[in-house]
Structure 1
Amino acid sequence: MRVPKDNFPTLETERMRLRRVTIDDAADMFAYCSDKEVAKYVNWDAHQSMADTHIFLNLILNQYKGNNYVFWGIQDKQTHHLIGTINFVSWKKKHRTAEIAYIISRDYWGRGMMTEAAMRVIAYGFTEMNLVRIQARCFRENLASERVMEKVGMTFEGIMRMAMQVNGIHYDLKLYSILNHEFDAG
């Protein structure tokens, strides 16, 4: 997705600001990316050092330079800390479809914050990107992510058998989706 650099979409929810990630977010990002429980169901290893976080941040920042990536940092409005990220990991403009992915600090698990962030991003996808379908996938064992998908109104479509390899092991993924006419932003 091409987004003009000076027009990156900052999105608001009741408790969070979804905004461009900056190099100043490194310490906050390291705090949750180094947590093995947070990294348990992603396709990257828990960060071992700030160097790992800087490599990850530079990948994001380079994507911004190309004006073709919508990757939001999730900032807690109360503390002003970066507590996670949410982004469109794929966007097929011709087909008007996209896939979202997200991660949040363990300190914020169970508070409904990821559901709140996902609702806002999905609303943006349908209203501003003119999408007709948004999907998300999670490891079969990731019940918390599955619960977020259900809370935002996504429908379970099935199991993608051995669809992702991480550290030499293939994992099944659950696939969920929502269509624009099914989404209720209220």
Structure 2
Amino acid sequence: MKEADAFPVLETDRLILRQVTSDDANSLLKYLSDIDVMKYIGLEPFKSIDDALDEISWYKSIFEKGTGIRWGISLKEQDEIIGSCGFLNRVAEHYRAELGFELSKEHWGKGIASEAIKNVICYGFEQMNLQRIEALIEPPNLPSQKVVERQGFIREGLLRSYEYTCGKFDDLYMYSMLKQDYQER
């Protein structure tokens, strides 16, 4: 994943996963300003279009540096970004990356996150040659735990006071899926 590489577009039955651009800033601001969406993200709810543009810049920078890739999630019949998912904290020499995702509240409970994540995991193992995909999830975030568990992730343990975000220390469950787990599914 270098700047010269074209950003891959992934397609599912209902979704298009594509690069997020500055044209999508209002869509991001709409759901990333929602306190419920941001509750377990480790960031304060967005307050301005500049917050959304900073997030989009971060997506671009991790892709260019090869440390991650973040797709915007849109429904096929609409081009509006309703969430994002992808990889961050990629460590190429160890063939691992961390999965991250969030979704606009009005689309919760419809299987959209699972559908997107399934394709992102496939991309990670088959195109990025990952051996291990991790997901770090706060213990009270039961919906996200269920999403990754349905995909076949295994909870490995609790990382106590692992992150300091929004003025507090957060415990995080460490989940993982290995390439052989993925191949066996």
TM-score, normalization: structure 1?
0.92
Distance 1:45 1:94, change over 3 A: same
Does structure 2 conserve the Cα–Cα contact (< 8 Å) formed by 1:139 and 1:173? yes
SS at match of 1:125: helix
Distance 1:4 1:163, change over 3 A: same
> Which ranges in structure 1 are unaligned for 5 or more consecutive residues?
none
Distance in 2 (alpha carbons) for counterparts of 1:182 and 1:132: 10
**Equivalent residue, structure 2, for 1:93:** 92
Distance 1:97 1:19, change over 3 A: same
Between 13-22 and 50-59, report the one with greater CA deviation. 50-59
What letter matches 2:2 in structure 1?
R
What letter matches 1:4 in structure 2?
A
What letter matches 2:161 in structure 1?
M
Tell me how large the CA RMSD over aligned residues is.
1.7
**Equivalent residue, structure 1, for 2:21:** 22
**Equivalent residue, structure 1, for 2:167:** 168
The alignment of Structure 1 onto Structure 2 pairs a total of residues equal to 184
- In the TM superposition, residue 99 of structure 1 has moved relative to its aligned partner by 0.9
Distance in 1 (alpha carbons) for counterparts of 2:41 and 2:149: 19
Distance in 1 (alpha carbons) for counterparts of 2:127 and 2:62: 20
Distance 1:80 1:178, change over 3 A: same
**Equivalent residue, structure 1, for 2:78:** 79
**Equivalent residue, structure 1, for 2:4:** 4
Distance in 1 (alpha carbons) for counterparts of 2:69 and 2:142: 26
Does structure 2 conserve the Cα–Cα contact (< 8 Å) formed by 1:133 and 1:179? yes
Between 136-145 and 91-100, report the one with greater CA deviation. 91-100
TM-score, normalization: structure 2?
0.92
Does structure 2 conserve the Cα–Cα contact (< 8 Å) formed by 1:156 and 1:174? yes
**Equivalent residue, structure 2, for 1:142:** 141
What letter matches 1:160 in structure 2?
L
Distance in 1 (alpha carbons) for counterparts of 2:36 and 2:127: 34
- In the TM superposition, residue 17 of structure 1 has moved relative to its aligned partner by 0.8
Which digits, 9 at most, give the CA deviation of each residue in 1:16-70, with x for residues without a partner?
1111111110111111001000000011110112222122223333445x36341
